[in-house]
């Protein structure tokens, strides 16, 4: 059974300068898997998260929730009381879920061990680093062993080490349960860890598949070209058409798909550099972005 199914979701935010369509007829289903919602700010990721969590009501469409044990949510800003200790925050969360004292204590101990915050259990949240706060917030969301975990930009503001620790903990917890995970991100590095990637733009699903499927669809190799002048793109585009290839660009950066050359060819337009390489998920992001979505392309920070 699918964990979540949504059909023809449409969400419109009224605006004095004209209504903004945040979700435009979005349909998708999620099983017991890890799914990344990839896209820039304004793509509709957070709105979709809001609909699934019940904090945003769609103007049209339906949502079917088939998961057991409820829903866990980690928002961009931790939902913690900074004046309470870690233990007190988790106890409060357990009480709100109607858990028994023994269940709260047992789940708390297991989670703080997995997340590596045993020594912080009686420390006030306000005295924790950003990475540790995020771990505590994750523990709060996972306390009732939810069937679906929603993570909205969960690593915002975290350094590389804290980000890696957080994902390692999530992977460890998932390996011991059938919990489904849906997370929103603008970082291709994070999205590549998911079982499945859904690329969104302007409130629509642009492409959906496993990271390897999306990458393989670009072919064995792509040409990455850096032009000296964006105005040279028309010349390069005409050359691509002549040799039967397609291209997209973002400023002076050009991506050419289905390149059959064994070595980087001579290309017109007086480029600064030409590289022939296997495609990556970041190339997928740019390729399907085409007209500008990739302004927010994310990679390792």
What local confidence, expressed as pLDDT, does residue 66 receive?
Answer: 87
Rg from Cα positions in the chain: 22
Judged against a pLDDT cut of 50, whether residue 297 lies above it is answered with no
Residue 27 burial (CB count, 10 A): 12
pTM: 0.87
**What would the pLDDT profile of 86-102 be if each residue is shown by its tens digit?**
999 999 999 999 999 99
CATH code of the domain made up of 4-213: 3.40.50.300
**Distance (Å, whole) CA 20 – CA 17:** 9
Residue 70 burial (CB count, 10 A): 12
Reduce the DSSP state of residue 55 to 3 states and report it. coil
What local confidence, expressed as pLDDT, does residue 290 receive?
Answer: 58
Structure tokens at 251: 């400023």
Overall average pLDDT of the 252-270 stretch: 82
Cβ atoms of 274 and 223 closer than 8 Å: yes
19: region left, alpha or beta (phi > 0 left; psi from -120 to 50 alpha) = beta
What local confidence, expressed as pLDDT, does residue 259 receive?
Answer: 65
Residue 22 burial (CB count, 10 A): 25
Overall average pLDDT of the 114-120 stretch: 93
Judged against a pLDDT cut of 60, whether residue 212 lies above it is answered with yes
Overall average pLDDT of the 192-217 stretch: 94
What local confidence, expressed as pLDDT, does residue 162 receive?
Answer: 85
Mean pLDDT of the chain: 89
Sheet holding 246-250, edge to edge: 246-250, 253-257, 222-227, 271-277
Reduce the DSSP state of residue 177 to 3 states and report it. coil
DSSP β-bridge partners for residue 257: 246
**Distance (Å, whole) CA 116 – CA 139:** 11
List the beta strands (DSSP E) in 98-203: 148-152, 180-185, 196-201
**Longest distance between any two alpha carbons in the chain, whole Å:** 71
């Amino acid at each position: 059974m699918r964990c979540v199914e949504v059909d023809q979701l449409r969400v419109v935010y009224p605006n004095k300068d004209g209504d903004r369509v945040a979700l435009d007829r979005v349909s998708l289903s999620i099983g017991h898997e890890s799914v990344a919602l990839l896209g820039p700010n304004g793509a509709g990721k957070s709105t979709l998260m809001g609909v699934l969590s019940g904090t945003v009501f769609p103007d049209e469409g339906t949502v079917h929730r088939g998961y057991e044990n409820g829903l866990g949510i980690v928002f961009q800003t931790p939902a913690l009381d900074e004046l309470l200790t870690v233990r007190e925050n988790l106890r409060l969360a357990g009480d709100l879920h109607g858990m028994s004292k023994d269940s709260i204590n047992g789940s708390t101990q297991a989670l703080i061990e997995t997340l590596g915050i045993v020594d912080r259990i009686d420390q006030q949240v306000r005295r924790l680093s950003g990475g540790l706060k995020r771990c505590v917030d994750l523990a709060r969301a996972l306390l009732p062993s939810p069937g679906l975990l929603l993570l909205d930009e969960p690593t915002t503001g975290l350094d590389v080490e804290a980000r890696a620790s957080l994902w390692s903990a999530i992977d460890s917890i998932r390996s011991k349960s059938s919990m489904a995970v849906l997370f929103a991100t603008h970082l291709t590095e994070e999205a590549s860890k998911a079982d499945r990637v859904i690329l969104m733009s302007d409130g629509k699903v642009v492409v959906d598949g496993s990271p390897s499927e999306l990458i393989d669809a670009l072919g064995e190799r792509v040409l990455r070209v850096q032009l000296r002048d964006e105005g040279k793109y028309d010349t390069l585009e005409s050359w691509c058409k002549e040799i039967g290839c397609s291209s997209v660009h973002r400023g002076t950066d050009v991506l050419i798909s289905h390149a059959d050359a064994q070595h980087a060819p001579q290309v017109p337009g007086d480029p600064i550099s030409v590289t022939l390489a296997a495609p990556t998920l970041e190339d997928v992001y740019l390729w399907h972005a085409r007209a500008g979505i990739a302004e927010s392309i994310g990679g390792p920070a």
